[in-house]
A = this chain, B = another copy of it.
Amino acid sequence: MTGDVSYTAFYSGGKDTTLTVRHYFPEGLITLSLEYPKGCGSTVLAEYSEIEALEEAIRKELGGRKRGDALPAIKRGLDKSPYLRTSDERILEYKFNKLLFSEQTAWQLVEIYSTPDFGNMLVLDGYVNLAESDQVYSHNLMCKGAINYKEKDVLILGGGDGALLWELLQEADKPKFVTMVDIDEAVIRGCKDLMPSVSGGIMENLKGKNYEIIVDDAFKWLNTYKAEGRKFDVIFGDLTDIPVHEGGETWDFVRAILFQSLSILPVGGRYLTHCNGMNATNSLALFENLLNSLGIPLEFTTTKAFVPSFMETWVFYQVTKTAEGAEEGK
C-alpha cells in the first residue's frame, strides 16, 4: 500500500462480480469499486450497512485513518434511470413509482412520472419541470401577494403545465384576460390528463371567458402582437431554463424572446421569468448581462424559492420596463 506510483488492482469473482482497488499517489486516496449485475428478482450482494462496515474495517486496518466514505449503490441499466441532475450537475436519485407518459415530440422528450414524494411530475429532456408538490414555483413566478393582477392583460409564454394560468385566475383581484402560448401539445395533453390538480382542470377547455390557450410558437405570436401594436401589462417567460453557457441556438432564442417581449410591454410593464438554480451562478450572471445589453431601459429584481421536486433553490427575475428603447421599432 506504499510506494511512489499509483496502482490499480482488479479482482473478479462469481456472477460477473468485480472489485477494483485503486491507490492514488501522492494523495493517498484509496478507492474500492464493487460492481455486479443484479436481475430484477435477485437480492443485493451487499447491503449498505455491510459496505459501511467494510469501509470502517479497512479504515481501522490502515491505522485508524479518520476519513472514509461509503456510497450507496449507483444503479445502471434500469428501464428508466432514477438519476436526475441539479442545475449545477449534482446527482440526485429520485424515487419513481411509474412512468405514466413518455413522448418524444419535435421539441423535447416529455415524461410524466408518478412519485411518492412529489405526486405526478413533469420531466422535460431529463430535467424536472413541475410536480404536483410545486405550487410555490407558480406563486414565486407571479410574485403572489406582491403584484396586483386586477384588470391586467397577461401573456404567458410557455407554461404548458397550466399551473401558472390556473394560479393567476385564482387571484381575488382577477386579471382582465390571460393568453397562454405553448408550442408542445403533448405537454398540455399530458399535464391535463395526469396532473389536473396543478391547473384545476382548466385545460379541459382551451378557451374560457377570461383566458385562452394557444398551441403554437410563442415567438411567432410575439411578432404578430408587435406588428398589431398590441401591448400586455405582464408577460411571463415560462419557457426553457436559461442556458449555463452563452451562445448557440437556445441562447439566441432566449435573447429574441426577451427582446420581443419587452418591446410589447408598455413603460411600467413587467416581464416575469424563472431563470435557473441558485448554484448555476454562471447562468444567472449571463442572464443579467443579457438584460443589460438589450438596449431597452429596464430595472430588475430577483426572488428565490426552494422548489420541492427540483430539490434546489430556484431564482426568479422580475423585469420592469422603465422607458421605450431606441431599438424597439426595428
Contacts and interface: CB of A to CB of B under 8 A. Distances in A.
Interface of A: 6, 8, 10, 12, 16, 18, 20, 22, 24, 27, 29, 31, 33, 35, 37, 39, 48, 67, 69, 71-74, 76-77, 79, 81-83, 85-86, 88-95, 116-118, 133, 278-279, 306, 308, 311-313
B90 A91 contact: no
A94 B313 CA distance: 12
13 contacts: A10-B10, A67-B79, A69-B76, A71-B76, A71-B91, A88-B95, A90-B93, A91-B93, A92-B311, A95-B312, A116-B313, A118-B306, A308-B308
Contact of A83 (B33, B37, B69): B69
A266 B185 CA distance: 59
Contact of A95 (B81, B85, B90): B90
Contacts of A94: 90
Given A37-B29, A69-B83, A91 B74 contact: yes
Contact of A72 (B91, B306, B308, B313): B91
The secondary-structure label for the interface of chain A is loop
Given A117-B306, A279-B116, A82 B90 contact: yes
Contacts of A86: 93, 95
Contacts of A308: 306, 308
Contact of A279 (B8, B35, B85, B117): B117
A323 to B, nearest CB: 35
Contacts of A72: 83, 85, 89-91
Contacts of A48: 85, 89
B69 A71 contact: no
B76 A29 contact: yes
Given A71-B91, A77-B27, A313-B116, A12 B8 contact: yes
A246 to B, nearest CB: 14
